[in-house]
Amino acid sequence: MKVLNLDGVTRRFGDFIAVRNLSFSIERGQVVGFLGANGAGKTTTLRMILDILRPSSGTIEVLGGSPGREKAAAIGFLPEERGLYGGMSVLRTVIYFGRLKGLSRSAAQSAAVPLIERLGLAEFRDRRVDQLSKGMAQKVQLATALVNSPKLLLLDEPFSGLDPVNQAALQDEILAASKAGSTTLFSTHVMEHAERLCTRLLMLARGRKVFDGSQEEAKAVLPRRVRLRARSDPSNLPGVAAAELMPTAEEGWTDWQIVLKPGAEPGDLLQACVQASFALRDFEAHSATLHDVFLHLAAPPLEAGQ
């Protein structure tokens, strides 16, 4: 079942195009990382899914129909700009948001109490939100997004401002929601979070989709690299696209950074070295990281003169 489907969505603000011809769909239960540099169009896209903004062109389907207020009961949203009522207690806040999403008071409280406990907020349940640290308040905001057991969970930079312990607690809740049937789309520019949580990645750059696929497919976008220590130049070995000479401290040997040709594997290069009696002292293969791919695909270009 397609929980979310965007087809040719564009959003203009005057002459500025924030999102350009964006198409993708998400199936039930997926945890999808929505990646891009600041200003790539991620938040604008989330606001269109929530019907806060309307597309200038294209169509959006949420849970089998058009976006709208009637979908609120099935959606959880954690905005980048946190918004809580400072004078309310933690427990009352989570219950209140549950009521806004259509839960009865008893159902909202039954959902809120264990959620608060899992997020490490039990001892603060009666404390006013404006008396909490930034990290604690953010966990309250997450609880308000999860209290209705949403079918679609939208998280905009959810890990911002959290220490590693609270980041782990948030990750656990996202995975638990996924196992319970929620579909999650979360925006981030921190690749470590995407690596831990996502089996699928969507990358935007300047409003356009530049990648949609698995982590393995993302890492395959960039060529494999090998660092080796040899007595002679490896440039003419099979599978070598480029060889860069690196500083070497060991006399008689030189270090090289090798970029392999598309489809070439480090094992093939090592076998070619053995067959050619090409003297090696060290051989280390390196795969591209998500951070490397992000910088290559999603980061904005440098302005002239930078």
**Total domains present in the chain:** 2
Helix (H, G, I), strand (E, B) or coil at 1: coil
What is the SS3 assignment for 81? Answer: coil
- One domain for residues 107 and 233: no
- Domain co-membership, 34 together with 168: yes
pTM for this model (two decimals): 0.81
Distance CA 111, CA 138 (A): 18
Whether pLDDT at 121 is above 70: yes
| Percentage of the chain exceeding pLDDT 90 | 60
Question: pLDDT per residue over 39-52, tens digit each?
Answer: 899 999 999 999 99
pLDDT of residue 77: 92
In a domain, 306, yes or no: no
- The yes-or-no verdict on residue 306 having pLDDT over 70 is no
What pLDDT digit, counting tens, does each position of 182-241 carry?
Answer: 999 999 877 888 888 898 999 999 999 999 999 989 988 888 899 999 999 999 999 999
Q: What's 245's domain CATH number?
A: 3.30.70
> CA 257, CA 244: separation in Å to the nearest integer?
5
Which of these, 215, 237, 239, lies nearest to 287 by C-alpha position?
Answer: 215
Q: Are 228 and 283 contacting, i.e. CB atoms less than 8 angstroms apart? A: yes
In terms of Cα–Cα distance, which of 293, 304, 298, 78 is closest to 207? 298
Q: Which of 219, 243, 267 is the last residue of a domain?
A: 219
In this structure, the strands spanning 31-35 and 200-205 are: parallel
Q: Kindly state whether residue 188 falls inside one of the protein's structural domains.
A: yes
Quote the CA–CA distance of 47 and 78 in Å, as a whole number: 11
Residues 68 and 165 grouped into a single domain: yes
As given in the structure block, the two tokens for residue 264 are 């070439």
Q: Does one domain contain both 114 and 234?
A: no
Q: Is residue 14 part of a domain?
A: yes
Q: Which of 195, 219, 243 is the last residue of a domain?
A: 219
Between CA 159 and CA 134 the distance in angstroms is 12
In a domain, 305, yes or no: no
Q: pLDDT digit string (tens) for 12-49?
A: 999 999 999 999 999 998 999 999 888 899 999 999 99
184 or 306, which is more confident: 184
Lowest mean pLDDT among 144-153, 163-172, 273-282: 163-172
Residues 52 and 152 in one domain: yes
The reply to whether 116 and 63 lie within a common domain is yes
Residue 17 lies in a domain: yes
Cα(165)–Cα(188) distance, integer angstroms? 18
What's CA 138's distance to the chain center, in Å?
18
What are the DSSP calls for 177-245, one per residue?
A: HHHTT-EEEEEES-HHHHHHH-SEEEEEETTEEEEEE-HHHHHTTSPPEEEEEESS--TTSTTEEEEEE
Last residue of a domain, one of 200, 219, 238: 219
pLDDT band at 304 (very low <50, low <70, confident <90, very high): very low
List, in sequence order, every residue forming a beta bridge with 35; answer none if it has no partner. Answer: 188, 203
Q: Is residue 64 one of the residues assigned to a domain? A: yes
Q: How confident is the model at residue 301 (pLDDT cuts 50, 70, 90)?
A: low
Residues 35 and 153 reside in one and the same domain: yes
Q: Judge whether 139 lies within some domain.
A: yes
Residues 208 and 229 in one domain: no
| Residue at token pair 């690749």 | 191
The answer to whether the CB of 211 falls within 8 A of the CB of 218 is yes
> Which range marks the domain in which residue 35 is found?
2-219
Average pLDDT over residues 266-272: 92
Task: Assess whether 144 and 126 both reside in one domain.
Answer: yes
Residue type at position 95 = I
293 inside domain: no
pLDDT of residue 157: 86
For residues 197 and 35, what is the distance between their CA atoms, to the nearest angstrom? 13
**Residue 305 reports pLDDT greater than 70:** no
Cα torsion 28, 31, 36, 38 to 10°: value is 100
Which residue in 291, 217, 218 sits closest to 299, CA to CA?
A: 291
* Mean pLDDT, the chain, integer: 89
286 membership: H or E segment, kind and range:
strand 280-286
pLDDT at 252: 87
Q: Are the CB atoms for 257 and 227 separated by under 8 Å?
A: yes
H and E: helices and strands count for the chain: 9, 13
The more confident residue out of 146 and 249 is 146
**Same-domain check for residues 64 and 197:** yes
